[in-house]
């Protein structure tokens, strides 16, 4: 009898397919999720992901445009 299983749940795989274009985007989203109390700006994300500020800004803008997180000001 053959056993079949998926390492990534179907809904998670579909989210990644629809919303994530790069490893940097996935890493940024995981960073934000794992540290919700932290107030992240572009420079802080860039530093943690070892990318430049311009790339981090593009990564965050793309994730926000795809409604992966909400931006809060002064929260």
In this structure, what token pair is assigned to residue 22? 């790069």
pTM over 0.75: yes
First to last CA, the chain: 54
Check residue 69 and give its pLDDT: 86
CB 16 within 8 A of CB 26: yes
Query: Per-domain residue ranges for the chain?
Result: 21-65
Tens digit of each residue's pLDDT (9 = 90 or more) over 6-61? 788 999 999 999 999 999 999 999 999 999 899 999 999 999 999 999 999 999 99
């Amino acid at each position: 009898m053959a056993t079949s299983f998926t390492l990534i749940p179907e809904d998670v795989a579909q989210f990644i397919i629809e919303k994530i274009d790069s490893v940097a985007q996935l890493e940024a989203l995981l960073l934000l999720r794992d540290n919700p109390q932290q107030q992240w700006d572009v420079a802080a994300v860039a530093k943690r992901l070892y990318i430049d500020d311009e790339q981090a800004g593009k990564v965050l803008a793309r994730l926000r445009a795809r409604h992966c997180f909400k931006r809060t000001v002064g929260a």
